[in-house]
């Protein structure tokens, strides 16, 4: 069966510090991968998605970047965090063919001080 | 992609059926209806999806009207663990960049 791992579960970082959140998927190959952010009490906002190694599409202009160095690894980064980067970050995967649901990790709660 | 409209909140008595409505009046012919739920502080969980026929799985049933402009997610015997935010999403197959999670419906199952 397929599993998705995200870490860390919670993170407290000072403004201006760098960020690296990692997501890995097991039990499938060539998945589509996604990063979402959820502000408190709000819906999910798609930040990035990837259909293959090194292929990243950005949905919104922002202070963050994403990379996919391996088939089942997706990394969310920032060089300098802003207060507005606080939120709940979720990684998801789906099979790379049509009509497939997305499957989410447990998320990382990021607080910027 | 078509937008969806859901009530912001609903209550349901434990053991009763929970019927969660969703309006998607601008849905296109090949757009699917997906439902997810998010229990507090967890990632969303896929529940069910359909195109035009009614669907059922071990978690829920999905009823789509004949004109496809609305749908209802049915949890047949709600438990306290079904308390969550439920998202109705309409999207094209493989339209991975267009899956929009709105505010959803906050379902409270009451003992």
**pLDDT per residue as tens digits for the range A30-74:** 999 999 999 877 788 889 999 999 999 887 767 899 999 999 999
B6 closest CA partner among B20, B26, B25: B20
Chain B hits for A6, CB-CB cut-off 8 Å, are 43
The answer to whether A44 and A88 are in contact (CB under 8 A) is no
Chain A window 60-89: which residues touch B at a Cβ cutoff of 8 Å?
88
Nearest to B83 by CA among B3, B13, B32: B13
pLDDT at residue A79 in the model:
95
> Rounded to the nearest 5°, which phi and psi values hold at B98?
-125, 15
Which two three-digit tokens encode residue A99?
């009509």
- Give how far A76 is from chain B: nearest CA, Å: 17
Which residues of chain B have a CB within 8 Å of the CB of A49?
A: 96-97
In this complex, do B94 and A106 lie within 8 Å of one another by their Cβ atoms? no
According to the model, what pLDDT value does residue A42 have?
Answer: 76
The pLDDT value given to residue B1: 55
pLDDT tens for B48-68 read: 999 998 999 999 999 999 999
The per-residue b/e assignment along A6-29, b for 16 or more CB within 10 angstroms, e otherwise, is: beeeebebeeeeebebebbbeebe
| Rounded-to-integer distance, Cα B101 and Cα A78, Å | 24
């Amino acid at each position: 069966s397929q599993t998705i791992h995200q870490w860390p579960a919670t993170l407290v970082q000072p403004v201006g510090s760098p960020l690296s959140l990692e997501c890995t998927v097991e039990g499938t190959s060539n998945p589509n991968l996604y990063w979402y952010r959820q502000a408190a009490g709000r819906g999910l906002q798609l930040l990035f998605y990837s259909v293959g190694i090194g292929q990243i599409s950005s949905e919104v202009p922002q202070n963050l970047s994403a990379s996919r160095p391996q088939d089942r690894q997706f990394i969310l980064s920032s060089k300098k965090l802003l207060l507005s980067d606080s939120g709940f970050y979720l990684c998801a995967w789906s099979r790379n063919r049509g009509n497939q649901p997305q499957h989410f990790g447990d998320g990382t709660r990021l607080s910027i001080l | 992609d078509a937008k969806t409209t859901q009530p912001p909140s609903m209550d349901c008595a434990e053991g009763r059926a929970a019927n969660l409505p969703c309006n998607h009046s601008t849905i296109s012919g090949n757009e699917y209806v997906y439902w997810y739920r998010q229990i507090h502080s967890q990632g969303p969980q896929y529940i069910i999806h359909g195109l035009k026929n009614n669907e059922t799985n071990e978690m829920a049933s999905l009823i789509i009207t004949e004109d496809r402009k609305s749908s209802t997610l049915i949890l047949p015997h709600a438990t306290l663990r079904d308390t969550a935010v439920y998202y109705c999403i309409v999207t094209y197959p493989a339209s991975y960049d267009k899956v929009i999670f709105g505010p959803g419906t906050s379902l409270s199952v009451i003992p």
